[in-house]
Amino acid sequence: MVQLNFHPPVRWYQNSNSMIVTVKLMNPESQRCDFYPDRVIYSGRVNDQSYRADLELQGNIAVDRCCWEMKSNEPVLKLVKQEQGHWEKLLRNKNIFVSYDMEHFEDDEDRAPNGLWSVGDTGGDSWYVNTESSSDSD
């Protein structure tokens, strides 16, 4: 009999040095996480169901500096970037089970995904300001 693996929901956010990836499985057993320069493979079991996430990364990671641990009963992977900087996305290809973790939006160094918008003080209220605008208007 062939064992089916399901893809777990995955959430991620980043800072300039690393990507933090949370696998949304509660109290998984028989866990394994393998780090490669351009991918991460996580597997685990919950309620006799096998889950596997094979994540082909957009950039490269420093395998020897990556790690994972359980936080709030969920596996959390720390992927250390080989080169510091902002990644536009986590994966090379779109995956419907992987999404940005909006709970940590502020942790992403107050940077919008495209890097063009910031919150500026425009007087009475704060507004979103396009940092590349050539307009002289207030």
| Residues 6 or more apart in contact with residue 52 via CB below 8 angstroms | 5, 6, 7, 41, 42, 43
Residue 137 lies in a domain: no
Q: List, for residues 106-117, the tens digit of each pLDDT value.
A: 655 545 555 554
Q: List, for residues 78-107, the tens digit of each pLDDT value.
A: 999 999 999 999 999 999 999 999 887 765
Overall number of domains in the chain: 1
Q: Which two tokens stand for residue 121?
A: 């003080």
Q: List, for residues 50-68, the tens digit of each pLDDT value.
A: 999 999 999 999 999 999 9
Residue 51 lies in a domain: yes
- Is residue 5 within 8 Å of 52, Cβ to Cβ? yes
In terms of residue numbers, what domain contains 49? 5-103
Residue 136 lies in a domain: no
pLDDT higher than threshold 90 for residue 122: no
Q: Which two tokens stand for residue 3?
A: 């064992």
pLDDT at 137: 43
CA 45 to CA 30: how far, in whole Å? Answer: 6
Mean pLDDT of the chain: 84
CA 16 to CA 31: how far, in whole Å? Answer: 28
Q: Which two tokens stand for residue 6?
A: 């399901």
- pLDDT tier, 132 (very low <50, low <70, confident <90, very high otherwise): very low
CA 71 to CA 73: how far, in whole Å? Answer: 5
What does the H/E/C string look like for 55-97? EEECCCECHHHCEEEEECCEEEEEEEECCCCCCCCCECCCCCC
pLDDT higher than threshold 60 for residue 118: no
What percentage of the chain reaches a pLDDT higher than 90?
A: 70
pLDDT at 120: 52
Residue 59 belongs to domain with CATH number: 2.60.40.790
Residue 113 lies in a domain: no
Q: List, for residues 28-50, the tens digit of each pLDDT value.
A: 999 999 999 999 999 999 999 99
